[in-house]
Amino acid sequence: MDSSVYKFIGVGLMAMGMLGAAIGVGNIFAALMNGIARNPSATGKMQLSAYVGAALVEAMGLFAFVIAMLLIFL
């Protein structure tokens, strides 16, 4: 096989990292809605933690995207 084939296999595997980020954000906000439904008075603290967690998870997805683009074009 040509070495460019391995680049595209790596990019396909990086898509799993982006899929994991999407699932992680969904889980974070599902847990946030569940927590707000159980204790509405603690909404502010829970929202702040959820936004920080979502930002970190999205950052991991963006890192996977950047690595995939580097594999394709370099």
Question: Per-residue pLDDT tens for 20-58?
Answer: 999 999 999 999 999 999 999 999 999 999 999 999 999
- Residue 42 is given by DSSP the state G
Domain ranges of the chain: 3-73
- Which distant-in-sequence residues (6+ apart) come within 8 Å of 32 by Cβ? 46, 47, 50
CATH superfamily of 3-73: F1F0 ATP synthase subunit C (1.20.20.10)
Q: Give the per-residue pLDDT at 4.
A: 83
pTM for this entry: 0.80
Q: Closest Cα partner for 8 from 50, 49, 69?
A: 69
The CA angle 63-68-73, to the nearest 5 degrees, is 125
Task: Map residue 9 onto helix, strand or coil.
Answer: helix
34 to 7, 28, 42, 48, 49: CA distances (angstroms): 41, 10, 12, 15, 14
